[in-house]
Structure 1
């Protein structure tokens, strides 16, 4: 741990400030759908509060803190600071805004795919759990304080679809192997305490369901669109595999990301993890998953940009099909968003009308590359983001900072109106 703490001067001071609720932050109300994107600087973290108070944490990531790049100008700084680890900040925020009486109880955890910025990375000096024989980072770190009733990931129980992930990582001496083993150890420990674990089921519409008052909100649903290289066809109801059936192509971890479509009284929201859509030079055409899933997603109101709006995502067909009024981008690297990707997002040739962009942390280096288009296109570039959708289809976007260890409202945008209203 000492090696890591040399990079974390505030942690060396032993600062552990308690989360303090701010009086001016938005409040979830029954009947609203709230989606929060926390800015940690070290990966993703998306917290959803459904209309009846059902809660879900998606992709609480944490980068390798022993990697020099994590602390370099290529990456976002730890936000709001390094006095705590990313998982601790995430847990703080959840305890501040969780509508459940037990602030440390969350209904669902959801891991779209196994990359460090989406579920954590163990590294030399990582903290040890007090609840089992595993290390804390990302989902395991949040899980040290927050109890999940059900955890859903893309590979449970065997992690062999569409290929044997553990064998692949170990055989190729990829450092993520230790993280996967650590994660599986965490799952076993939590299962022994009653946590339910499930594999993501492509095509299902009820794997994520309202837990408290489902009958009051019949027009709320979460449709599982894609995962493990499979995708659901809305016209036929069938599930298809995107890659060669003979196993000649092992897709990237991004290529097997899970994607979901949330619908509520006509409002539609899509989140697809790191689903790819723009094959690099020499890559096979079937690398493009976005074009296959776009027709089943259709037009939406809000979307989180796939793979942090990098250069291998958001192709013409995907953008032309979804046409969101609001784009969210979870960014933490100096190449996010990609310049070509941003041009496509803003192109009136792909779809007409206004669109507002929001990002968690566009870095100074990328601002130089992108130029003044950032100031013209984005409403916010360096804040937590909070989407609030009312039952009538209207919605707001709030930008928040962290002050005195608690969330603080900085700006509000909208109201917007869903397309079906």
Structure 2
């Protein structure tokens, strides 16, 4: 398979970080409400208020000087409003992103940096393939880290009133890293402010950076050791459970109570086995004492997976179900599992048809997260509710039949 274009990878940089930004608001002494109230104000006044906040937080003159030179970047706003890559189906997206290049280089890096991956698992409980998968998807192992001025990007997105609460909490941590000479004032990264080979947000860089190679510097742009251990520590901080699985491919029966499926409805494997669910090869599920949900990214006739609690941690990295399932499956591939079975899913809705479905759902009172043609979590749940009402199989997959019935 061909390596995705740099433009596509750049789009992924930012989407991979947004949920993490929301996790670290405590890093800055201000509330999301305050950020929202100030967004869109006179830029000079807004920056002065931010400088006062940073000075109170202990940022010195070097960090304050960097803020004084920060400017708004229209290209950042343009990129923020153009994330159409996630309108692809899971099969389209994952088969493009899980390339031969990434599988080959992922395996090579797991061997080359085996000592650091082993330490990451020893210290934080996160298996090497999980870290390596994010490393691959975010920057192709450091090859494409982004060329946006990171401080300008964060200032632009925090001043913009679309989602200021996601980005404002990252500015003072970045200023602190600049002030401490960890990063240069003109550090470059992704358009949403992430930095380094696994696209770490400044708050994580500051709070969870690990000097893996022992040179006295946490360098997430150039040191694989630092990248691997910091990424493992970040994943562990989001709730990763040592020694537990994250995803498992399965085979579902032709008929079952589809309303029981979904990531959040976790049941013991023995319960799923009683419904006719088996391992991918048709062998019986073995109860491992854990609970898992059944995820059907393309409906009941497409690929099927058990997702455990560790899979939920992926959603702390990125809230796109398509991205997270791709990242989880890539980690499974790097751990030795085969490519997923595509199945024979019903034709889904795309483009204008998908937008038409979202509009109908919106008109019925559902929050679908925007009429954007993307099958996100909100849209999928609204589909499930309507499938239940219409007595259709409740698998969250948009079809012509559903659109016609609505």
TM-score > 0.5 by shorter chain: no
| Structure having the larger proportion of residues in strand | 1
| TM-score class normalised by the smaller sequence | under 0.3
| Structure having the larger proportion of residues in helix | 2
* TM-score calculated relative to the size of structure 2: 0.26
